[in-house]
Structure 1
Amino acid sequence: MLRLDARRNREKILLAARLAFLESGPDASLEEIARRASVGIATLYRRFPTREALIREVVVLTKQELLAEARQAQADQPRAWDALAQFLRRVAIRRLGSLLPVLGGRVEPDQVFYDVRDALIATVRDLIERAQADGDLRSDVGFGDVQVMTNLLSRGVQAPPGPVSDRLTARYTELFLAALRARPDLPALPGESLANGDLEHYLAHLDTAPDKAG
């Protein structure tokens, strides 16, 4: 078991790495990550001997936080629609939905990865299905729609970071939620929601090169 200071250093490195990967992609400078975490580069390498090991832990941490947000929304809101809306708002403002495409295929999955991924999918699917059963969520929306739009909301207005970005994220999240609400006059959506392998393939191959300000 890690000592308290070692555990704190590990957490600081993971949080700094997540920000760096979101800004600069999977080849972000490890020295810069160490600097942001206020640790030496040797400390980073002791915790994460390879870039791939660091990327994997960042992805798992983010999925764990997504799962925690989904379960917290379930606990906070008795109605499934309200829980789904809380989850989407939190994920968008925290930019949690944008990491997987940034890191793409650089993660070697293991059982821990699969367990947290499957738990997250099951929790969000449950919210979707119950909201549809209640008549609050349009019936032609699937898990893939929520996943893709969460990613776009998380990454589309993240640069430059700050109050303006946060306000735009909140605004577009509410527009997305309004589009999800069931109404009898809405035309059916074209095509079908992405699922399983098609969804993972799409997310892993999005163009995630960060915008460069002139």
Structure 2
Amino acid sequence: MTTAPMSGRKAQAARNDELILEAAREVFTADPGAPIAAVAERAGVGISALYRRYASKDALLQKLCGDGLKRYIACAEKALADHGDPWESFATFMRDLVDADTSSLTIALAGTFTPTAELYTDARRAEELGTRVHERTIEAGVLRADVSAADISLIFEELASVKLGDHDRTMQIRHRHLAMILDGLRLPPNTRPLPGPAPDASELAARWTP
């Protein structure tokens, strides 16, 4: 079954929405306090066109974070469906999430807007799937047992803070550093214990309370 092509008006609306979300991500990761008018200007659309799609800045932030959670969920589901080499499955999961760059939104937007019930549901699903990926890799004996799922979440935030040159160069450096980190996460003999207690999920979740 083929999908009927959208009319010119619908196609333009879809294109505008794509431009708005791309611009919103750029604007709000750079400055979470920026006005919504800055998004319209970056996207090259009228403010009325933006407000027809998103009634408020909160609604736009909710959409951005919802899309980010769905990307995370898709990466985790892909990893869990991979029953090949346990380490390669985990390493691919990590690389996929660096490419998805959902943590840039976490760093910039945590606690700046009111999450919806749907966002809470997706966040619980994302946490559940991420924990399953983590536990499966531990059980396979290829990931350090003293690394928590929350440790993994913070690794993504640390990598998201790396910004060097343009987007392509930034992603190149992030993947270079991810490769270094993965070498440290893989279970070798005579591994030294990590200092201090591991962060837990409640510490990460607390940042989303406005």
Provide Cα deviations, 1:74-98, integer angstroms capped at 9, x if missing partner: 3356344322211211222342212
Question: 2: CA distance between counterparts of 1:103 and 1:75?
Answer: 30
State whether structure 2 residue 177 is matched by structure 1 residue 167.
no
- What is the aligned partner in structure 2 of residue 141 from structure 1? 147
Question: 2: CA distance between counterparts of 1:165 and 1:177?
Answer: 18
Query: Which has the greater radius of gyration?
Result: 2
Question: 2: CA distance between counterparts of 1:15 and 1:81?
Answer: 33
Give the % identical residues.
29
State whether structure 2 residue 65 is matched by structure 1 residue 59.
yes
TM-score between the two structures when normalised by the length of structure 2: 0.85
Greater mean alpha carbon deviation, residues 179-188 or residues 33-42: 33-42
Question: 2: CA distance between counterparts of 1:115 and 1:42?
Answer: 31
Provide Cα deviations, 1:164-199, integer angstroms capped at 9, x if missing partner: 322211110001111110122111112222112212
Change (3 A) 1:163 1:48: closer
- RMSD (CA atoms): 2.3
> Which of 166, 179, 185 is residue 180 of structure 1 equivalent to?
185
Provide Cα deviations, 1:127-175, integer angstroms capped at 9, x if missing partner: 11111111110100111100001111022x2243234322211110001
State whether structure 2 residue 124 is matched by structure 1 residue 118.
yes
Question: 2: CA distance between counterparts of 1:7 and 1:80?
Answer: 39
Alignment check: 8 A CA contact 1:20 1:33 kept: yes
Structure 1 segments unaligned to the other structure (5+ residues): 206-214
Provide Cα deviations, 1:94-120, integer angstroms capped at 9, x if missing partner: 422121121121221222101111111
> Which of 21, 26, 29 is residue 19 of structure 1 equivalent to?
26
- What is the aligned partner in structure 1 of residue 196 from structure 2? 191
Q: 1:39 deviation in Å?
A: 2.1
SS in 1 for 2:80: helix
Question: 2: CA distance between counterparts of 1:84 and 1:72?
Answer: 10
The structure 1 segments of at least 4 consecutive aligned residues displaced by more than 4 Å after TM superposition are: none
Q: 1:67 deviation in Å?
A: 1.2
Q: 1:68 deviation in Å?
A: 1.3
Question: 2: CA distance between counterparts of 1:116 and 1:4?
Answer: 28
> Which of 108, 112, 134 is residue 106 of structure 1 equivalent to?
112
TM-score between the two structures when normalised by the length of structure 1: 0.83
User: Number of matched residues?
Assistant: 201
Query: Aligned partner of 1:17: which letter?
Result: A
Alignment check: 8 A CA contact 1:101 1:204 kept: no
Question: 2: CA distance between counterparts of 1:77 and 1:96?
Answer: 25
> Which of 36, 41, 46 is residue 35 of structure 1 equivalent to?
41
Structure 2 segments unaligned to the other structure (5+ residues): 1-9
Alignment check: 8 A CA contact 1:105 1:204 kept: yes
Provide Cα deviations, 1:33-53, integer angstroms capped at 9, x if missing partner: 223333211111111122122
Question: 1: CA distance between counterparts of 2:116 and 2:86?
Answer: 31
